[in-house]
Chain A
Amino acid sequence: MAAQTHSREVQQTTLDPTLLAVLANRFEAIVREMTQTLLRAGRSATISIARDFSCSITTSVTGQHELLAAAEGLPAHIYGSHLQAQAMCELHPDLAEGDAFLHNDPYLGNSHPADHTILVPVFCEGQHLFTAVAKAHLSDIGNALPTSYMPAARDVYEEGALLFPCVCVQRAYADVDDIIRLCRRRIRVPEQWYGDYLAMVGAARVGERKIQDLVAKYGSETIKTFVHEWLDYSERRMIHAIRQLPGGDVIGTGRHDPFPGLPDGLPLKVEIAIDTQAGRIAVDLRDNPDNVAGGANSSEACSISSVMQGIFSALDPDVPHNAGSFRRIHVKLREGCVVGIPRFPHSCSLATTNPANRLVVITQSAFAELGDGWGTAEGGVAQNAGYAVISGTDTRRNGAAYVNQLILGGNGGPASPGCDGWVTYGIAVISGLLYRDSVEIDEQKYPLFVKSEKLAQDSGGPGRFRGAPAIEAEYGPKGDPVTLTFPMEGYETPAKGARGGQAGSRAWAIKIDRDGSEIPLPNIFTGDLLPGEFIRYRDCGGGGYGPPTERNPEDVRRDVLERWVSVEQARVAYGVVLTGSIEDETLAVDQEATRELREQLGK
């Protein structure tokens, strides 16, 4: 079965072009206001520090549910919003103003169960024209273990999350208390959940009110015309952007590391067909393995959003990201496929990270096959101890319980045809959109001691443009034991380079005992650390772009001075011979020896 994105004849505008720009701008501004509300009012650190949430507006003006505006949302959160709005309407024919729905069901359009979504249907002059969507990743959703990621769950029952298949949670602007009580009973740290819930409802209601004001001002007919034309306009931008690409078919391949339910790992394939003439891109994910008995199954929303994210990073960033541009991308999915449409009751606990990360980087780097100047290398994918969900009690706070996801990790970003990789990357699906934690705040809030966090030398993939280095860090409990769980990937298969660039370094994690002995940890870890024990980890380095022997030797020298690259790697990978010393900054490129070495390496 194929998940068809809608397409219709592209027409020229009839609305005043100025008004088109004004209204598009206004809808984006409304999403930003929703975002601000949620960021500032959110209760958990995942929302208020890390910004692991997104807001969007979908529209039903076109006769179906389509994404209209997304501002700075995470693609993994947003690009499937229309599926959720559609579910809301199908399940609730009696939809009314003042309703709000809680939706976290990955079999019904959500990304993964830990993303609680609040949907508010927006009524204008009695018609349901838009849906305001606020979605946030919560640290706890009532899973069997205190984590929002359950890699080993063989199905939803083992996973244990409370699933809300788009359930009415507010009627006439008042909470449906049964649902609130249910959540407060079954979700750990209920105060935190309720605070986040209020912030999400608040954000969606802000969106509702602002949209209603806008429609009141311009009239619903004008707004409807706007929606049609804005989506058509976005589609035209997309056609133009696709026509800039060299045409052809490319196949990206990669592999998800061995994982629960995946003893041999998971080979993945993204088949991309670019029809520049027609201005269309087709992506076929059907030739991939079936659903697995673990938490790493993708949801329909994540299968779509991951390849979309990869494709959009290969195009002009100014193209609007909405249903209009989506019409030009046809993502072919298969039911029961691990990166397709999940078959119940396979678990999608990790859908937004594994295998979404792999799909994003495989798609991005596949575009590099089109020629130099296109696509990027792969970015890092390790969701390591720096992204662990930690839980326990804190004696400093009279034994108060906590559950939260740390954002202390950081993979190297991919090198591109224009610049070195970014260190502020996070993981592929984040790509620099989440905030990392403050060590000081983490130590204040949790019984933790962070020993160090640094960028690791030689971890970025060598290339004409260098992949970004990975974070290497060490932390442990302080005073109280800490339970942590993380499902690490990228410990076998690194972030690949592109067009002759080399791979970044792999991820690892070790436990350091009280006596100082080092014990390598399995990639899936759930366990307690006791005071005096530490965990040390490194995420993946980003892949390089272009042959490293084409990197400007002066840039290599600077990298060595800055300790991004060792003298050894400069010679072996980049073919750059250096003289002098780093310490007194007398380091210099031996031009002659470098030329010779590069010639040799080129052979």
Chain B
Amino acid sequence: MHRFLYSPTGFLATLVGEVAGSFSPVLLMFGFAIVATAPALILSRMIAPRRRSNPVKFLPMECGQVPSGEGRTHFMMQYYAYVLMFVVFDVMSIFLYAWGSTLLNLPKSATLPIIAFLGIMFASFAFSLYQSGRRNIW
């Protein structure tokens, strides 16, 4: 048996390709939207006027002033602590779905460890929010 070809989803083994194949309409729809709307850009390029009368026209918009400095400047990443928290807690909240979608099939005793996990998650939320609220260390 080619076991690597089958993924154990539910009682009936399904081909891995079938699972991946169910996503193909998403890609087709993505492609169709691009194919259907790209002609609008091409048509616009064909019928709209194109005049290179003045180099000022192609300067970035700065409310009528002559732009100063580079467009892609160094910038101050404000609220950086929240971005760090996002990286951790986004993954944690997605992991909860693996438990949530099978909860009705699990024995009731399996919920206690998850409640503990939720408690750890909540406590770490509180601690990191407290740390990110401290203005003097950021």
Do A and B actually bind?
Answer: no
What residues make up the interface of B, taking CB atoms closer than 8 Å to A?
Answer: none
